[in-house]
Amino acid sequence: MKGQLMKSEAKKIDGAAPSAYGSGGLEGRKNTLRAQKDVSASDPGPKNLTLNRQNPNSNLPPATDHGTVPPIWYSFDLVHRRMQEGGWTHQVTERELPSSKEIAAVQMRITAGSYRELHWHVADEWAYMLAGEARVTVLNPDGTMFIDDVEEGDLWLFPAGYPHSIQGLGDNGCEFLLVFNQGDFSEESTFLLSDWIAHTPPEVLAKNFRLPPESVAKLPTDQLYIFRGNRPESLAADIAEATADARAKSPSYTFKLRSMAPTKKTAMGEARIVDGKNFPVSRKIAAALVTLKPGGLRELHWHPNASEWQYYIQGSGRMTVFNSSEQARTMDFNANDVGFVPAVAGHYVENTGDTDLVFLEMFVAPEFIDFSLNNWIRHMPATLAMDHLGLDSEEIDHIPSAKEIVL
């Protein structure tokens, strides 16, 4: 049964004597399994049945869960949406998910022809296109401009302080996920072109832009943020206009993640890894796009160089995070949910649905690094593994020896 010990072990547990509450070992699991089968698990008081149904492994946790693990789940569907003509935005930051002190994220929708206005940030902006098409621009310090079109499955990286814009294309605009390497980042505190102009004395604007007062009077007096605009010319025409006086070739700030060959592929799924090695401008953020087929498992592993922030794109699954000292927590995840794993904490992700589970793993790190439990067991001397696990050599040989990523 999912999230519980094997039936043969459960039969042994039924006849065991009660143990003290709080033990994270076998006796504690026996106590938990007995409690789940009798009146101890009843809940006659108020309850949110919708949340209970979506999170069965939190409502009735596996007997292996124990202790206090920092929050590992949140959802974009729980946060306020800022609505404007031309689109909307909402965010999950350290304020909503206190465990995530290194990463904050924003989900944004821009309709066709509308803009996320010209702006810049104090943090790097890494983005993944969830739907539709968009045109992005970013200015380099040497005055050269990078312009490109992106579509579902593509990503971009804008370094901190680099001014940029995003405009919806096609018939339906776009929707995308923005990831920032700063847990307390707020989308409400970006540096907006309109905001700066509105808070600069008119006579200074006139002098700076060499415009007469009647022209200065037309400039924005309030934030634009997301607003409707005119659909752009062709990409080639925009590039030709913007780079007519270019002094150097710009680095690429976009990456075709979904269309790249999988970094690792098995019968049960695949993973595409992107970091500073194959996307040079992404020097501070690494990621993996993981697809698990029904029944597939993102193998037991951990990351030594950063906490893991997750975004679930489609499907349903569950994850258990082991945070040492008998601490473990299991939660269920669905599309539009956010997951979090503390640095070096052991974990897995399992597809519990009947369709593909697709999610992003994000790290504030220049390189994607993980340790596979299977890989570790099979590369140590056999006697060392057998003594620790209580298995014989034939059983040890059944454990996959390669770092599969997806099982």
Active site residue 395: no
CA contacts within 13 A on the Cβ side of 204? 6
DSSP code of residue 153? T
- Nearby residues of 180 by Cβ (< 8 Å), 6 or more positions away: 103, 104, 105, 106, 121, 123, 124, 125, 126
Q: By the 8 A CB rule, do 145 and 162 touch? A: no
DSSP code of residue 22? T
As a whole number of angstroms, the distance between CA 375 and CA 395 comes to 15
Cα distances from 372 to residues 147, 187, 265, 360, 378, in angstroms, run 39, 36, 15, 18, 10
3-state secondary structure of 203: helix
Residues in the chain: 407
Work out the number of other CB atoms within 10 angstroms of the CB of residue 22: 10
Which is the catalytic residue, given 308, 361, 367, 394? 361
As a whole number of angstroms, the distance between CA 178 and CA 157 comes to 9
Question: Which has the closest alpha carbon to 129: 188, 173, 77?
Answer: 173
- The catalytic residues are 361
